[in-house]
């Protein structure tokens, strides 16, 4: 028999037997809802004015309550989310036909804390100004179609400047203009909607959850993969070239591959309309076992180390913005040349690397108030150091698309023996795999749709970025796939990259210990030259090591950070003087004096 339950979330049908306990029936109904129900607050009624708490009659059978096939029960309840989020919904039982108030979704949605950069770019139009053209036939104060500003997503402008993808905020404004037209009087609709390829295990369609039941509401639709037209980050800027030199020095020394995380910040990038760049201030390498063709890590240990490093980096005004790894093999010519493994006829990122990048992006969501879910994709970047077509060591920078994030989140793809192909997983009792297609150009240059099973090219999931180092000359127009040198907007946060050993390089013969610390900083700490001391202290890996010694008190650690991250010696002098006379610093100098 079927019983119908009417609530503020709609009507739901529950299949049961006459001798089933009413408590079991209520539990089946609660599993169909899209919210967590506090079963102690559920009240039911079959006629106006008469309602009972379900917990009071839970032990009785359906038949003993006089319920028959097709009966409708009106339910009132409170969700556990309403208690946790502190939102109050008037769910009191009103037998006289009184209404139940339902909170607006915007009221229960947590406040989205966007970055200051997002707020700044959201407030700008991003219009691309154009000079007066030879086709113009108006005065100096006039404007026509040949000189009027272009929208930041203009396709012709991007093709002319060889920019493959529009920026995220240009895409957002383009989408918002279509979704929320000014002429329309309808209510505001969030323009961003991240794809979700998971099957809904709490479907309200009145059937058993997957794998026992399925309907068109809970199963994901067919997926068609296309190249993403926008990118969350447009450019990756390494503040110092020495960062890359020190990173690949591990490969030069051992011939083994290396992995690291990038720490820095996000800033505006003026070479692209409403563009954003990831500015890398430091590279930190977690504990790892290097091999010639890859790396292996104890992820539990790595996550503990990363958590601690993230906290310290945050105190320096930095965040984890990406990852970098090497894929280098010496060409054996004795001139420093390396094999070119990654190109258009092989692969750019392997399927396993794409999945790894997607997992990192999912862990670092980009918060946005314009999204239905409160977040949209990620600004986490992936950098590969490998050989280019000239057999030179080069950097390639990528992100993976929204589709890649959704496919990995739903566990629909896995790596394959062909690095350029992603394998589509089989449907099982925990996941439902819909039809997946991708579009391509055939031999007649016509767009055709192909079935992606059993595997498809991972290039459909890639978004390429540009990269470069800051210089003092003006920037040229952006050229995709090449290194761009851009004007430095601010000096590097850290004055020194080399000199003190990087973290977790013991296997290479470079340990962080008191001997290395004394060699690096003792002279600067005792010769009363504040400029020299400032230069030495401004080192990311040195700061991490000093913190691990637990010698400095919290206020002394704050003074050290203030001095080390000050852009000039004038701004660092006061903090350096105070620090040098502090008990913790003097204790550290004394320990170094006594060490070998």
Same domain for 45 and 8:
yes
Same domain for 341 and 413:
yes
pLDDT band at residue 99, thresholds of 50, 70 and 90?
very low
pLDDT band at residue 88, thresholds of 50, 70 and 90?
very low
- Total structural domains in the chain? 3
C-alpha span between 375 and 364 (Å, rounded):
10
Same domain for 419 and 532:
no
C-alpha span between 324 and 383 (Å, rounded):
5
Instruction: Say which CATH number the domain at 34 has.
Output: 3.10.20.90
Same domain for 576 and 447:
no
With a cut of 80, say whether residue 152 has pLDDT above it.
Answer: yes
> How much is the average pLDDT of 59-80?
83
Q: Is residue 146 part of a domain?
A: no
Q: What is the sign, positive or negative, of the torsion defined by CA atoms of 462, 463, 464, 469?
A: negative
For position 384, what pLDDT does the model report? Answer: 97
> How much is the average pLDDT of 62-70?
85
Identify which of 329, 308, 315 has the alpha carbon closest to the alpha carbon of residue 503.
308
Q: Is residue 436 part of a domain?
A: yes
> How much is the average pLDDT of 499-509?
90
pLDDT band at residue 22, thresholds of 50, 70 and 90?
confident
Identify which of 563, 596, 569 has the alpha carbon closest to the alpha carbon of residue 582.
563
Q: Is residue 497 part of a domain?
A: no
Same domain for 427 and 325:
yes
SS3 per-residue string spanning 241-308: HHHHHHHHHHHHHHCCCCEEEEEEEEEEECCCCCEEEEEEEEEECCCCEEECCEEECCHHHHHHHHHH
Q: Is residue 213 part of a domain?
A: no
With a cut of 70, say whether residue 203 has pLDDT above it.
Answer: yes
C-alpha span between 69 and 443 (Å, rounded):
61
Instruction: Say which CATH number the domain at 292 has.
Output: 3.40.140.10
* Other CB atoms within 10 A of residue 378 CB: 21
- For 368, the token pair is 């946005």
> How much is the average pLDDT of 139-151?
87
pLDDT digits (tens, 9 = 90+) for 439-476: 888 888 888 899 999 999 999 999 999 999 987 544 44
Most confident of 42-46, 55-59, 130-134, 421-425: 421-425
For position 483, what pLDDT does the model report? Answer: 54
With a cut of 50, say whether residue 90 has pLDDT above it.
Answer: no
Same domain for 527 and 401:
no
Same domain for 403 and 268:
yes
Identify which of 472, 517, 493 has the alpha carbon closest to the alpha carbon of residue 568.
493
What average pLDDT does the structure give for the chain? 87
> How much is the average pLDDT of 279-285?
97
Q: Who has greater pLDDT, 187 or 296?
A: 296
Q: Is residue 293 part of a domain?
A: yes
Identify which of 57, 100, 58, 52 has the alpha carbon closest to the alpha carbon of residue 79.
100
CB 271 within 8 A of CB 474: no
Domain span at residue 452 reads 224-487
Q: Which of 54-58, 161-165, 511-515, 571-575 has the lowest mean pLDDT?
A: 54-58
> How much is the average pLDDT of 125-129?
90
- The SS3 of residue 211 is coil
Same domain for 523 and 467:
no
- For 513, the token pair is 């210990």
With a cut of 60, say whether residue 56 has pLDDT above it.
Answer: yes
CB 464 within 8 A of CB 474: no
Domain boundary among 452, 487, 522: 487
For position 298, what pLDDT does the model report? Answer: 92
Q: Which of 64-78, 81-95, 340-354, 441-455 has the lowest mean pLDDT?
A: 81-95
For position 171, what pLDDT does the model report? Answer: 95
With a cut of 70, say whether residue 480 has pLDDT above it.
Answer: no
> How much is the average pLDDT of 104-129?
75
pLDDT band at residue 10, thresholds of 50, 70 and 90?
confident
> How much is the average pLDDT of 338-355?
95
Q: Which of 87-101, 306-320, 496-510, 546-560 has the lowest mean pLDDT?
A: 87-101
Same domain for 454 and 308:
yes
- For 522, the token pair is 């003792």
Q: Who has greater pLDDT, 405 or 58?
A: 405
For position 83, what pLDDT does the model report? Answer: 45
With a cut of 90, say whether residue 105 has pLDDT above it.
Answer: no
For position 466, what pLDDT does the model report? Answer: 95
> How much is the average pLDDT of 554-579?
94
> How much is the average pLDDT of 529-539?
94
Q: Which of 396-405, 472-481, 487-496 has the lowest mean pLDDT?
A: 472-481
Domain boundary among 89, 108, 127: 108
Same domain for 366 and 449:
yes
Q: Which of 82-86, 194-198, 273-277, 427-431 has the lowest mean pLDDT?
A: 82-86
Q: Decide: pTM greater than 0.85.
A: no
With a cut of 90, say whether residue 258 has pLDDT above it.
Answer: yes
For position 91, what pLDDT does the model report? Answer: 37
Q: Is residue 416 part of a domain?
A: yes
With a cut of 70, say whether residue 14 has pLDDT above it.
Answer: yes
> How much is the average pLDDT of 531-536?
94
For position 81, what pLDDT does the model report? Answer: 53
Same domain for 318 and 231:
yes
C-alpha span between 584 and 312 (Å, rounded):
19
With a cut of 60, say whether residue 46 has pLDDT above it.
Answer: yes
With a cut of 90, say whether residue 404 has pLDDT above it.
Answer: yes
Q: Is residue 286 part of a domain?
A: yes
With a cut of 70, say whether residue 101 has pLDDT above it.
Answer: no
Domain boundary among 46, 80, 108: 108
Q: Is residue 367 part of a domain?
A: yes
Burial class (CB in 10 A: 0-12, 13-18, 19+), 8: middle
Same domain for 12 and 48:
yes
pLDDT band at residue 181, thresholds of 50, 70 and 90?
confident
Q: Who has greater pLDDT, 10 or 160?
A: 160
C-alpha span between 113 and 365 (Å, rounded):
12
C-alpha span between 5 and 303 (Å, rounded):
46
For position 132, what pLDDT does the model report? Answer: 86
For position 333, what pLDDT does the model report? Answer: 87
For position 184, what pLDDT does the model report? Answer: 60
For position 521, what pLDDT does the model report? Answer: 93
């Amino acid at each position: 028999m079927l019983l119908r339950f009417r609530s503020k979330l709609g009507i739901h049908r529950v299949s049961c037997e006459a001798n089933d306990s009413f408590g079991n029936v209520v539990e089946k109904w609660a599993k169909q809802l899209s919210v967590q129900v506090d079963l102690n607050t559920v009240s039911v009624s079959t006629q106006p004015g008469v309602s009972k708490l379900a917990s009071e009659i839970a032990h009785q059978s359906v038949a003993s309550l006089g319920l028959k096939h097709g009966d409708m029960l009106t339910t009132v309840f409170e969700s556990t989310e309403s208690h946790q989020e502190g939102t109050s919904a008037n769910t009191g039982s009103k037998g006289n036909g009184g209404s139940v108030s339902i909170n607006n979704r915007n009221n229960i949605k947590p406040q989205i804390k966007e970055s200051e950069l997002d707020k700044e770019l959201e407030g700008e139009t991003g219009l691309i100004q154009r000079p007066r053209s030879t086709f113009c036939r108006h005065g100096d104060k006039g404007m026509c179609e040949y000189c009027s500003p272009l929208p930041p997503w203009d396709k012709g402008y991007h093709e002319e400047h060889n920019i493959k993808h529009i920026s995220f905020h240009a895409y957002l404004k383009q989408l918002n203009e279509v979704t929320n037209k000014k002429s329309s009087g309808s209510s505001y609709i969030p323009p961003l909607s991240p794809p979700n390829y998971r099957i809904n295990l709490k479907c309200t369609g009145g059937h058993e959850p997957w794998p026992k039941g399925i309907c068109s509401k809970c199963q994901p639709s067919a997926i068609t993969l296309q190249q993403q037209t926008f990118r969350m980050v447009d450019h990756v800027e390494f503040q110092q070239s020495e960062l890359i030199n020190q990173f690949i020095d591990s490969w030069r020394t051992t011939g083994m591959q290396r992995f690291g995380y990038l720490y820095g910040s996000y800033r505006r990038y003026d070479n692209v309309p409403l563009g954003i760049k990831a500015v890398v201030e430091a590279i930190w390498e977690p504990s790892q076992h290097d091999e010639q063709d890859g790396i292996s890590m104890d992820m539990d240990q790595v996550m503990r180390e990363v958590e601690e490093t993230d906290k310290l980096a945050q105190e320096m005004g930095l965040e984890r913005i990406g990852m970098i790894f090497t894929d280098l093999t010496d060409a054996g010519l004795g001139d420093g040349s390396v094999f070119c493994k990654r190109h258009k006829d092989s692969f750019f990122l392997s399927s396993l690397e794409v999945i790894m990048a997607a997992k990192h992006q999912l862990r670092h969501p980009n918060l946005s108030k314009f999204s239905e879910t409160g977040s949209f994709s990620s600004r986490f970047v992936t950098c590969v150091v490998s050989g280019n077509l000239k057999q030179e060591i080069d950097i390639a920078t990528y992100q993976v698309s929204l589709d890649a994030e959704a496919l990995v989140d739903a566990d629909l793809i896995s790596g394959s023996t062909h690095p350029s192909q992603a394998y589509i997983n089989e449907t099982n009792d925990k996941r439902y795999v819909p039809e997946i297609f991708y579009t391509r150009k055939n031999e007649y240059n016509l767009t055709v749709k192909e079935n992606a099973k059993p595997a498809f090219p991972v290039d459909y999931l890639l978004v390429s970025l540009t990269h470069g180092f800051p210089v003092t000359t003006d920037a040229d127009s952006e050229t995709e796939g090449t290194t761009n040198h851009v004007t430095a907007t601010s000096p590097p946060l850290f004055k020194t990259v080399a000199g003190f050993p990087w973290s977790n390089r013991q296997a290479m013969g470079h340990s962080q210990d008191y001997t290395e610390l004394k060699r690096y900083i003792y002279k600067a700490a005792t010769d009363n030259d504040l400029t020299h001391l400032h230069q030495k202290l401004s080192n990311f890996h040195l700061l991490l090591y000093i913190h691990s010694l637990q010698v400095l008190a919290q206020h002394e650690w704050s003074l050290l950070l203030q001095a080390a991250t000050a852009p000039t010696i004038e701004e660092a002098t006061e903090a350096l003087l105070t620090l040098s006379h502090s008990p913790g610093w003097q204790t550290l100098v004394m320990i170094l004096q006594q060490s070998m």
